[in-house]
């Protein structure tokens, strides 16, 4: 099968969408399929000898810290040159609009997947007026696809309520070989704790953006000086975060980590912090569990699907009436911490990437069959 993947984000970017895409592409290639990736050209033009077609990235005025590929007729040219059997548009927003438009115009089976809860970001950036418009925009694009996918049951139900067409759940996964408790490293722990390895080490991994709600962890650190928070990642909000946390000495900013270094950071920590309530999934949750970390997470639909309170982690209420500081104190119980660590690790073993990748391939084949049946009805 020849598969065109149009994605708003790809290498060298680091996020959950890219992680999922790489795992999926690896599987598809290993199964003998031919892949084309159309993405913003950020300098990385090769991955496992796939065909890469770049779109000139530009800055979007409402989010100036990141460059996006804009709608372009060039995508139609790329499709025509490659001749795909199926088109998958990942997270359609800007250039994804062209992927949807020209895929539909060319009559190729079309799948779209929803990964970023952009309409919910409107309130974080004082643009609440735009939320209905954003819902209209994303619904209009997705409803041109033959099959739509999302990554959690809670988001699926919300998108159904927003009248998105033919929604299905694309299961979550994790690299169960890379992330492992056995990678615990004392030197890494010293690095993450500013040479205070005896402290309870809490880890955050992700893009540093305002909507991630990392600031909400400040009161907890103020009230728990024996805890230390390591923030692994980078992004547009990093400078502001460093100012906001500057009065604390139990905080470390590391910037991005990748590969074995990142796996060691997970395995060398005591618990994982997940304060965001706007995620459609949060792949880092499973990466933490696979590393033997219980997850301390703000309650939200997608997060509650992954974290079993008191078993694989602890859930807390966010906001003015939040109870994070009280929840963190429960980590002082070493027996509870050890039990949750073991249960988190055991839980993660069922979520390798092979299952979700094969499930996606099944969706691809279903979309092709649907298109063939549609063509046959048109002939009759």
Average pLDDT over residues 9-25: 92
Q: Where are the domains of the chain?
A: 2-173+353-379, 181-348
* pTM (two decimals): 0.92
Asked if residue 175 has pLDDT above 90, the reply is yes
Instruction: Please check whether the domain covering 2-173+353-379 is classified as CATH 3.40.30.10.
Output: no
Instruction: Give the chain's mean pLDDT.
Output: 94
Closest CA to 233 of 20, 22, 41, 15: 15
- What is 181-348's CATH number? 3.40.50.2000
Average pLDDT over residues 328-357: 96
The predicted-structure confidence for 60-74, as pLDDT tens digits, reads as follows 655 556 778 899 999
Q: Do domains 2-173+353-379 and 181-348 have the same CATH topology?
A: yes
Residues 6 or more apart in contact with residue 371 via CB below 8 angstroms: 107, 108, 109, 146
Average pLDDT over residues 81-103: 97
Instruction: State the pLDDT at residue 124.
Output: 65
Band of residue 255 on the pLDDT scale cut at 50, 70, 90: very high
Instruction: State the pLDDT at residue 67.
Output: 76
Q: What percent of the chain has pLDDT over 90?
A: 84
Instruction: State the pLDDT at residue 60.
Output: 65
Q: Are 363 and 167 in contact (CB under 8 A)?
A: no
The predicted-structure confidence for 124-165, as pLDDT tens digits, reads as follows 666 777 889 999 999 999 999 999 999 999 999 999 999 999
Band of residue 374 on the pLDDT scale cut at 50, 70, 90: confident
In Å, what is the CA distance from 336 to each residue of 124, 269, 294, 313? 35, 16, 10, 10
Asked if residue 309 has pLDDT above 80, the reply is yes
Asked if residue 317 has pLDDT above 70, the reply is yes
Asked if residue 122 has pLDDT above 70, the reply is no
* Residue 380 or residue 360, greater confidence: 360
Instruction: State the pLDDT at residue 63.
Output: 58
Instruction: State the pLDDT at residue 58.
Output: 84
Average pLDDT over residues 347-356: 96
In Å, what is the CA distance from 260 to each residue of 33, 178, 343? 29, 7, 23
Residue that the structure tokens 């502001």 belong to: 240
Copy the structure tokens of residue 373: 């049946």
Walk across the sheet containing 34-40 and list its strands: 51-55, 34-40, 2-7, 86-90, 110-114, 147-150, 167-169
Residue that the structure tokens 């990235």 belong to: 57
Asked if residue 121 has pLDDT above 80, the reply is no
């Amino acid at each position: 099968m020849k598969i065109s993947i149009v994605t708003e984000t790809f290498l060298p970017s680091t996020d959950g969408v890219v992680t999922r895409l790489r795992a999926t592409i690896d599987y598809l290639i290993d199964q003998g399929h031919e892949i084309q990736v159309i993405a913003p050209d950020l300098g990385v033009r090769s991955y496992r000898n796939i065909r890469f077609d770049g779109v000139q990235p530009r800055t979007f005025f409402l989010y100036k810290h990141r460059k996006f590929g804009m709608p372009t007729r060039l995508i139609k040219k790329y499709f025509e040159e490659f001749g795909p059997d199926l088109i998958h548009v990942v997270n359609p927003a800007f250039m994804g609009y062209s992927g949807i438009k020209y895929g539909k115009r060319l009559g190729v089976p079309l799948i779209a997947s929803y990964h970023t809860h952009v309409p919910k970001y409107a309130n974080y950036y004082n643009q609440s007026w735009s939320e209905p418009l954003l819902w209209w925009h994303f619904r209009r694009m997705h409803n041109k696809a033959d099959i739509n996918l999302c990554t959690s049951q809670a988001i699926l139900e919300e998108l159904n309520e927003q009248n998105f067409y033919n929604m299905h759940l694309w299961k979550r996964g994790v690299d169960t070989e890379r992330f492992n408790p056995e990678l615990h490293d004392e030197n890494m722990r010293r690095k993450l704790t500013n040479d205070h390895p005896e402290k309870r080490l809490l880890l955050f991994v992700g893009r540093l953006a305002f909507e991630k709600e990392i600031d909400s962890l400040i009161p907890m650190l103020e009230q728990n000086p024996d805890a230390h928070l390591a923030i692994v990642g980078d992004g547009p909000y990093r400078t502001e975060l460093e100012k906001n946390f500057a009065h604390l000495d139990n905080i470390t900013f590391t910037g991005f980590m990748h590969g074995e270094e990142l796996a060691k950071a997970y395995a060398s920590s005591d618990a994982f912090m997940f304060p965001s309530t706007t995620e459609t999934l949060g792949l880092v949750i499973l990466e933490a569990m696979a590393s033997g970390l219980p997850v301390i997470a703000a309650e939200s639909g997608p997060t509650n699907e992954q974290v079993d309170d008191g078993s694989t982690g602890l859930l807390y209420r966010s906001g003015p009436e939040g109870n994070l500081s009280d929840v963190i104190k429960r980590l002082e119980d070493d027996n509870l911490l050890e039990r949750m660590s073991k249960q988190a690790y055991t839980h993660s073993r069922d979520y390798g990437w092979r299952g979700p990748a094969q499930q996606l391939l099944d969706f691809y084949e279903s979309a092709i069959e649907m298109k063939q049946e549609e063509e046959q009805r048109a002939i009759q």
